[in-house]
Amino acid sequence: MMAYFRLQDFYSLERSPSSPASLRNKIANMLLNSCYANAKVEMVNRETGEYRIVLHGTLDKEEGKWTESS
C-alpha cells in the first residue's frame, strides 16, 4: 500500500537533523503522490561534495489522495 503525502508533510521535510533514509522516504512519498515532478540541479561543489537540488511539482488532487487535516 502506498503512503499518502499530506500538506502538513511538507513541514517535516525541513526538520533537522534528518537521516538520508528518512528524507528519501518522505521525498519518495511526495513524488509518488504527484501528477507532475521536475528536478533542477542548482549547484554541485566538486571539492566538498555539497549539492543543491530543487524539486518542482504538483500533488495529485484526486479525491482521497491528500488532505490538509489527516
Radius of gyration of the chain (CA): 14
Q: Where along the chain do its domains lie?
A: 9-59
Q: Give the pTM.
A: 0.75
Q: How far apart are CA 13 and CA 29, in angstroms?
A: 11
Tens digit of each residue's pLDDT (9 = 90 or more) over 11-69: 888 876 778 998 898 899 999 999 999 999 999 999 999 999 999 999 988 755 555 55
